[in-house]
Amino acid sequence: MSTEQIEGSLGVAKAVSLCKPGVVCAYPISPQTHIVENLGKFVKSGALKHCEYLNVESEFAAMSVAIGSSAGGVRTYTATASQGLLFMAEAVYSASGLGLPIVMTVASRAIGGPINIWNDHSDSLSQRDSGWLQLFCESNQDAVDTHIMAFKIAEKVGLPVMVCMDGFVLTHAFERLNLPSQEQVDAFLPKYEPREFLTPKEPISIGSMVGPEAFTEVRLLQQRKMLSSLQVIEDVTKEYREITGQHSGGLLDCYNCENADLKLIILGSSVGTAKDEIDRLKAQGINVGLISLKAYRPFPYAALKAAVGNSSQVVCVERAFSFGARGIICPEVKRALEGTSTKVCTALAGLGGRAIYGSTINGIVKHALDGKFKDEFTWFDIDTKVLNSYTRNALGITFPEGPIAESELEATLLRA
C-alpha cells in the first residue's frame, strides 16, 4: 500500500496499470483524457509491461478494438465520456452480447446539445439497457478500488463493466489516495484465463447471427449472468476490503441510516458533500440517512429495500432524467419498495455541471421534511431568474422562486 497526493485520473491510471491489462485502447475526450494519457506514459516508460497501447481514430474504433482484443483472450481497458460513449454505443452493446469482460471508465459528463462539457449522469445512464454492469464511484479512493474490483467482477461474471466516476469533480481533483501494492493486486486478481477465446491455432467463430429460434433464450442467459453479478459484486467487495482495508465498492453503502425516517439516495461524488451536510443537520437534531447507490446495473432491488427499511420518505437526488417521463433512478427504487408505504420522489439537481452544494442537500432535506415534494418529480436547483428572463417575453409566463414540481411545469401550458 502506498499513499499519494495525486489527481483522480492518475490514481485510476495507476489502478488500471496494477491490473496489468494487455490492451489499452484510447480516444481522447474530456474529462477522461488524463486517464488514458497517463496509461500511455506508463506503457512508454515500461512501468506497464506487456501492454499494447493503441491510439485509435474514434470511440467506435476504441470499443471495436476492445472487443477484438478481449475476444482474443486479453485483459482490456478503455475509457470514454459523453458524446464519445454515444458514438461507441453500437459496439458497447456488442461487447456485452459477446460476454466480453472489458472494463471501461465513463468519466460522466452531460450529453449535448446544447454542448456542455461538465458533469452529470446523462451519458452513463443512457447506456442503462446496454447489458454492461454500471458501478458508480463516490470518491477517487472508491474509483481506484472499484476499477481493480471491476476487472475481477467482469471476468468472474463474463460481462463488461462500466466504472462511472464524475467527470472533472473526481477526475480532476487532487486528493490523498491509498494505492494497493502490486503484490496485493496480484493476490487479488489472478492472470486472466478466458474460458474461450479467438486463436489461429484452434479457429472458432464467436458472435454469429442468432435468429428468432434462440434469440430470446440468449437474452435470458445474458440476464441470468447479470443477476449472478449481484452476489459476485458482494463477494469481490468483501475479498478486496479484507486484503486492502479500504471501504470501497459494494452494491450500496449506508450512512447514518439507523432510525432515519428520511433517506436520500445519491450516486457519485455528491455523496461526500451530502455526508458533511448530514453531519451538520444531525448537530441540529435532524436525522437524515444517505444511501450511496454504487451498482446501478445490476440494480440491487433487495439490498435497497433492506437499506430503506421502514423509512417513510426517500428522495432520489438525480443528475439526469428521461424526457417525456421523469427520473431514472426513482422508478427503480419504487420497484424495490413495492408493497411498502414509503413515499419515493426525485429531486433533479446538478445537470450539466451545476454544482451540488451542501446547501443544495440541506434544501432538499428541508423541502422533504416540510412535505413539499408533492409530485414524484421536482426540478430542484432551478435558477428562477435565468428561466424567467427567457419565458417572460418568449412564452408570456413566469415561474415563482424555488423548485418547480412537474405539475407546476404542466400547469404553465395552460397559462401560456
Binding positions for other proteins, rule: CB under 8 A: 5, 7, 31, 117-118, 139, 166, 168-170, 172-176, 269-273, 275-276, 353, 355-358
First-to-last alpha carbon distance for the chain, in angstroms, is 62
DSSP state of 375: S
In whole angstroms, the minimum distance from the beta carbon of 248 to other proteins comes to: 13
3-state secondary structure of 289: strand
Q: Which is nearer to other proteins, 335 or 366 (CB)?
A: 366
Q: How far apart are CA 255 and CA 275, in angstroms?
A: 7
Q: Which is nearer to other proteins, 19 or 81 (CB)?
A: 81
In whole angstroms, the minimum distance from the beta carbon of 8 to other proteins comes to: 9
Q: Which helix H or strand E contains 149, and what residues bound it?
A: helix 140-157
Crossing angle between the packed helical segments 270-283 and 358-369, to the nearest 10 degrees: 60
In whole angstroms, the minimum distance from the beta carbon of 357 to other proteins comes to: 4
Q: Which is nearer to other proteins, 30 or 340 (CB)?
A: 30
Q: Which is nearer to other proteins, 153 or 356 (CB)?
A: 356
How many helices and strands in the chain, by DSSP H and E? 15, 16
Q: Which is nearer to other proteins, 290 or 344 (CB)?
A: 290
* DSSP per residue, 31-45: TTHHHHHHHHHHHHH
In whole angstroms, the minimum distance from the beta carbon of 109 to other proteins comes to: 10
**CA proximity to 382, closest of 353, 414, 358, 354:** 354
In whole angstroms, the minimum distance from the beta carbon of 318 to other proteins comes to: 17
The CA-atom distances, in angstroms, between 44 and each of 40, 50, 54, 191 are 6, 11, 12, 22
Cite the DSSP H helix spans in 189-247.
Answer: 215-244
- List, edge to edge, every strand of the sheet that includes 377-379: 252-255, 288-293, 262-266, 313-318, 343-348, 377-379, 404-405
In whole angstroms, the minimum distance from the beta carbon of 176 to other proteins comes to: 6
Q: Which is nearer to other proteins, 8 or 327 (CB)?
A: 8
Whether residue 212 has a cis bond before it, omega within 30° of 0: no
Strands 313-318 and 262-266: parallel
Q: How far apart are CA 215 and CA 413, in angstroms?
A: 44
In whole angstroms, the minimum distance from the beta carbon of 290 to other proteins comes to: 11
In whole angstroms, the minimum distance from the beta carbon of 125 to other proteins comes to: 19
Q: Which is nearer to other proteins, 96 or 139 (CB)?
A: 139
Q: Which is nearer to other proteins, 140 or 342 (CB)?
A: 140
Q: How far apart are CA 303 and CA 321, in angstroms?
A: 23
Q: Which is nearer to other proteins, 12 or 95 (CB)?
A: 12
3-state secondary structure of 327: strand
In whole angstroms, the minimum distance from the beta carbon of 31 to other proteins comes to: 8
